[in-house]
Structure 1
Amino acid sequence: MNLRAALLSVISLAWASNLPAANNIFSNLDPEHEASWRIPTVHESAIQGRRILHLENIGTLSTIFPSTHRTENRPSDVGGTPIGLMDYFADCEPSTGNPTILAITIATSFKNVAAGSNITLSLRWHAPYHRPYSAAAVPRFSLVGRLEDISAEEVKGQNVAACFVKYHPDAAAWLPGNRIHESKWVRLVVEEIYWIGGFGDRAYIGWIPVEEWQSVTKEEIEKCRLPGEKRGWASWKSWLGFEQDNQGPLEL
């Protein structure tokens, strides 16, 4: 073994020895809670998903390019190819769990939908406080559905613009009627939910029925606490916000 190889070997061993224990990287739980965790139910997973929808505001819209591109200079071979692009959303219809979206009609996602594409909105939880962990341990999911225009009466009655701008102050520049781009209010009518709550040995992975998604109450969303939402980490049951005292939701 030459000197360079020997030095690299020593550096690698030293680096590896300083890594957190595998249990800390690939586990959602602190070691002392390993014996108490359980896999959440479908409904508990739906509650987590609805809280993520309430707290997050940016996701990925996935659509499919149409087979013909008469009005755009696109490569001829992208027809039928999916594309995922970042977009804004807001939880402005909490009684239904349907995300509100400000559709910029010139944007690719909305042109694809207008050409007949289906659409999904993919989200993942970004914990504000966390210890070293694997991103694969954190909940993420996709909402499969269709876009539906929100009527002018609904926009006014539900104060949609104010709700959306609360989530996205910069979006005030391109609200419907602006002089930059044509835009309109739409809702993603959720028809299917695919959920990955984390690692499969301690999280639910699979489909959440839309009826379960819609049945989540405001009170359940407010009581739920997501992993890393508060300083410190606790047991999986605590993450769901169901371990409470008389003072209200558990502070992690």
Structure 2
Amino acid sequence: MVSSPFILQMLTLLMVVVTAHSEKRAAILARRMVNLQSSLHFNSLRSDDIPISMAEYYVASDTCSDVEGLSNNGDPILLLSKMSTSYKNWHNNGTISVTIEKPKMGHFDGIMGKPRGIFFGKLRELHLSHENAKRLAGHFLIRHPDARHWLPDDHESHVHDTRWFEFEVQSVYFVGGFGDRSFIGNISGNVYHQDLRDDESYPCHEVNLQDALPKEVEGGSRSLSQQSSFDGFFQLIKTLIMNY
């Protein structure tokens, strides 16, 4: 007859394994969300210690592998003006977090079942070479064309005090959706930053539009027109659903 302590030990071990697996899977989803979204809420404290949240643009460092000087491990890259509330609050006390969420798509698409996370960490100002800053600006403008008016060190810029920053993620409080079917809890910085490219469920690095296309049409060598229109559409929708 199996003893109660043995059963308890096995259950504890099972819980540890399940929790570890869930945290890694949540890290994959969190990285995916960061890669696919492009705006965040910059949470900081005013001088009177009242919290405030401001919308800011960002681009995921995973998508900027050709830019030297970035961590390329899931950290968001922000463009901040020194006159902005976000920058001033950070400069005064350094206490910040950022919130990133998958937006609702349509009137009947509820936000409560969507992935979202509060990312804790610190800002690091980037000092890039001219060529790397140019590459980073190119990636940023793909997501935010209007940002061309406030690029750093651009003679045509309307704002001349902007700087590049990397938000170095130290931990994440992740809500995958409703608790009865999704992971809700903390993701450590080590798990979030680990190289997840070999995970068969999702390649986190080099995320672009091609990641939403069927494998048969990647690289431009084949197009959707080479499949039946219905089959190509079905595969695209299936891939998008599986990616979220």
Distance in 1 between the 2:109 and 2:132 partners?
A: 43
Does residue 1:42 correspond to 2:42, yes or no? no
Matched with 2:51 is 82
Q: Which residue of 2 aligns with 1:118?
A: 95
Q: Is the 8 A contact 2:61 2:73 kept in 1?
A: no
Q: Report the identity percentage.
A: 24
How many angstroms apart in 1 are the aligned matches of 2:149 and 2:134?
A: 20
Q: Of Structure 1 and Structure 2, which has the larger fraction of its residues in helix?
A: 2
Higher mean C-alpha displacement, 87-96 vs 42-51? 87-96
Specify the structure having the higher radius of gyration (Cα).
Answer: 1
Distance 2:92 2:131 in 1: 25
State whether residues 140 and 197 of structure 1, in contact with CA within 8 Å, keep that contact through their aligned partners in structure 2: yes
1:205 paired to 2:184: yes
State the TM-score, normalizing by the size of structure 1: 0.64
Quote the Cα distance in structure 2 between the aligned partners of 1:250 and 1:82.
Answer: 41
How far apart are the structure 2 equivalents of 1:90 and 1:125?
A: 15
Partner of 1:96: 73
Shift of 1:149: 0.9
Residue 52 of structure 1 is matched in structure 2 by: 33
Cα shift readout 1:141-165 (whole Å, capped 9, x = no counterpart): 0111111011123871782111111
The residue aligned with 2:141 is: 165
Give the TM-score taking structure 2 as reference length: 0.66
Flag the structure with more relative contact order, 1 or 2, with Cα contacts below 8 A and sequence separation at least 6: 1
Name the stretch that deviates more: 88-97 or 179-188.
88-97
Matched residue of 1:191: which SS? Answer: strand
- In the alignment, is the contact (CA less than 8 A) between 2:171 and 2:192 conserved in 1? no
Cα RMSD for the two superposed structures: 3.1
Q: Which runs of 5+ in 2 are unaligned?
A: 1-17, 64-71, 205-211, 213-234
Amino acid at match of 2:92: A
**What is the distance in 2 between the residues matched to 1:136 and 1:209?**
23
Deviation at 1:131, TM superposition (A): 9.0
Q: Is the 8 A contact 1:155 1:161 kept in 2?
A: no
Aligned positions, number: 182
